[in-house]
């Protein structure tokens, strides 16, 4: 037997990722194939046989993350070559025969080329012009070319949007379609726009940020970074509305030792009786420490029927590239509970009789939110929120209402940044003049 190895794979791992989860389809696979040998990989359906081969060939979708200590093909390490070199190997030096190959095109060869070869074999000529009947192969080929051109268009559009947004305007490719407060048609029309953020202190605008993001979540990190790069003074606290109350932002402020005064999304809802009387929510249950069957001290919740929901596991979800850890609590039995209909989500008395209560709690995020809520409800927080509503919101009211500045005069992110900076300089000079003449004083408020 010839001992020359043509394929050698060590510690192959393949993980499929999405916004909410990650699945390990292949984990720690090792094998080798010597010249002249036939290797059979046996496993039940879904065990990862096809994924293993596709991982070696490099033909998995973009959400697949393939890694290995090495994948040697004819002494060439495939983990170290670029995509173009990989593509040249496929079809010539290495290929894959899929299940029932006679009913499908070869995925390793160009489709257009295969259709041309099929037409030649069938003796079919492609015709053009009025009154000439096209063959089925020609119609299929032209349909494929239309799809190909559309895919190229999609690829170019995705390149313009990158990973930060899902739309752009043809008249200004750096603008994102957003739902505006000004809706004269009253039909929720989307318009190309930019997200404008102001950071203020004592009547002055100290930072201005123009963003392509439809939401405010990502803006806070950029403003904190801008402040650290531009000014010598360290931020002590940040006062903002609920649009910034994400786990990422609150974690960032904790890492930077900045006190958060950010109103939570459910700030107003928490004042309602329905919120406080929802027995199915963990925040309306008593949290205790108990010992499980193994004698280990664990966290648990006590429900409205005095049944204990013990911690059974942790779940990790990937959200925008970041890990979120959820503790899962479950009741051993909800049999005979009279509150099932009010406690269990979408409870059906016919099909959910044996269903038990499960809670998923992000304790890290909960702790960060509690700290922010404690801050905004303090005397200092109440005053700061009043100042924010006057200053930060007041700037936009002054811009739109008094100065009639409702549209940007230029297009493109760079030009609009310059336009806004000139506007901010003018506003700050006016504020400085009014301070120097005693027409404006530092805003001082007190708790009622």
| Domain extent listing, the chain | 5-103, 111-158, 198-267+372-436, 281-356
pLDDT given at position 1: 44
* CA nearest to 235, candidates 247, 244, 226: 226
pLDDT at 448: 60
SS3 state of residue 52: helix
pTM of the model: 0.70
Task: Please tell me the distance from the alpha carbon of residue 78 to that of residue 383, in angstroms, as a whole number.
Answer: 62
* Residue 329 confidence (pLDDT): 94
Sequence-ordered list of residues with C-beta below 8 angstroms from that of 386, at least 6 positions apart, any chain: 445
Instruction: Label residue 391 left, alpha or beta by phi (over 0 means left) and psi (-120 to 50 means alpha).
Output: alpha
- Tell me which H or E stretch contains 303: none
pLDDT for the residue numbered 102: 56
DSSP state of 133: P
Residue 139 three-state SS: helix
Residues 169/194, Cβ–Cβ less than 8 Å = no
Per-residue tokens: 317: 């979800």
Q: What is the pLDDT of residue 393?
A: 85
Beta carbons of 280 and 343 less than 8 angstroms apart: yes
Residue 34: burial class (beta carbons within 10 Å; 0-12, 13-18, 19+)? middle
Task: Tell which residue, 415, 414, 397, 394, has the closest CA to residue 406.
Answer: 397
Taking only the tens of pLDDT, the chain with its 448 residues reads 456 889 999 999 999 887 667 788 899 999 999 888 888 888 888 888 889 998 998 888 888 889 999 999 988 898 888 888 888 888 778 877 776 655 566 666 677 777 777 777 777 788 888 888 888 888 888 888 888 889 889 999 999 998 788 899 999 999 999 988 877 778 888 999 999 999 998 889 999 999 999 888 889 999 999 999 998 888 999 999 998 999 999 999 999 999 999 999 999 999 999 999 999 999 999 999 988 778 888 889 999 999 999 998 889 888 877 889 999 999 999 988 999 999 998 888 888 888 999 999 999 999 999 999 999 999 999 999 988 888 888 899 999 999 999 999 999 999 999 999 999 999 999 999 999 998 888 877 766 6
- Tell me what pLDDT residue 104 has: 63
The yes or no reply on domain 5-103 and CATH 3.40.50.720 is no
Question: What angle is formed at CA 34 by the lines to CA 29 and CA 38, rounded to 5 degrees?
Answer: 80
Contact 139, 124 (CB under 8 A): no
d(C-alpha 169, C-alpha 191), whole Å: 8
Query: Burial level of 39, CB count in 10 A (0-12/13-18/19+)?
Result: exposed
CA separation for the pair 106, 98 (Å, rounded): 8
* CA 410, 414, 416, 418 torsion-angle sign: negative
Give the Å distances, CA to CA, from 435 to 117, 388, 420, 432, 442.
Answer: 81, 19, 22, 5, 9
Angle of CA points 146, 150, 153, to nearest 5°: 145
Q: What DSSP assignment string belongs to 176-205?
A: EEEE-S--TTSS--EEEE-EEEEEEETTEE
> Percent helix, strand and coil across the chain, each rounded to 5?
35, 25, 40
The pair of structure tokens assigned to 286 is 């008593």
**Both tokens assigned to 368:** 């960060």
**Phi, psi values for residue 44, rounded to 5°:** -70, 165
Please list the residues that pair with 324 across neighbouring strands.
Answer: 317
């Amino acid at each position: 037997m010839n001992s020359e190895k043509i394929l050698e794979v060590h510690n192959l791992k393949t993980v499929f990722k999405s916004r909410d989860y990650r699945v390990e389809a292949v984990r720690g696979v090792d094998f080798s194939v010597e010249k002249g040998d036939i290797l059979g990989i046996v496993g039940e359906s879904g065990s990862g046989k096809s994924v293993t081969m596709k991982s070696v060939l490099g033909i998995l979708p973009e959400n697949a993350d393939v890694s290995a200590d090495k994948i040697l093909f004819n002494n060439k390490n495939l983990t170290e070559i670029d995509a173009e070199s990989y593509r040249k190997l496929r079809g010539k030096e290495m290929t894959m025969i899929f299940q029932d190959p006679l009913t499908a095109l070869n995925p390793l060869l160009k489709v257009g080329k295969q259709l041309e070869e099929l037409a030649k074999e069938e003796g079919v000529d492609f015709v053009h012009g009025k009154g000439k009947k096209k063959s089925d192969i020609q119609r299929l080929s032209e349909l494929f070319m239309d799809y190909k051109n559309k895919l190229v268009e999609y690829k170019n559009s995705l390149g313009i949007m990158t990973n930060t947004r899902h739309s752009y305007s043809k008249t200004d490719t750096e603008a994102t379609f957003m739902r505006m407060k000004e809706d004269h048609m009253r039909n929720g029309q989307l318009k190309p726009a930019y997200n404008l953020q102001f950071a203020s202190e004592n009547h002055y605008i100290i930072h201005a940020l123009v963003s392509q993001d439809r939401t405010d979540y990502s803006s806070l990190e950029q403003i904190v970074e801008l402040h650290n790069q531009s000014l010598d003074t360290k931020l002590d606290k940040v006062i903002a509305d609920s649009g910034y109350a994400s786990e990422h932002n609150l974690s960032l402020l904790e890492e930077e030792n900045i006190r958060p005064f950010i109103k939570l999304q459910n700030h107003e809802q928490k004042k309602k009786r329905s919120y406080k009387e929802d027995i199915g929510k963990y925040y309306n249950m008593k949290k205790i420490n108990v010992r499980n069957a193994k004698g280990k001290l664990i966290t648990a919740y006590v429900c409205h029927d005095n049944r204990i929901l013990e911690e059974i596991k942790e779940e990790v979800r990937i959200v925008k590239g970041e890990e979120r850890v959820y503790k899962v609590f479950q009741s051993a039995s909800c049999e005979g509970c009279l509150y099932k209909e009010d406690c269990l989500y979408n409870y059906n008395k016919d099909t959910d009789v044996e269903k038990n209560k499960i809670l998923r709690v992000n304790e890290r995020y909960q702790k960060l939110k509690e700290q922010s809520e404690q801050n905004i409800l303090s005397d200092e927080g109440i005053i700061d929120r009043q100042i924010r509503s006057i200053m930060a919101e007041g700037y936009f009211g002054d811009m739109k209402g008094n100065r009639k500045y409702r549209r940007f005069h230029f297009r493109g992110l760079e030009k609009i940044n310059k336009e806004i900076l000139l506007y901010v300089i003018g506003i700050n000079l006016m504020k400085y003049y009014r301070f120097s003449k005693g027409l404006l004083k530092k805003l001082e408020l007190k708790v009622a």
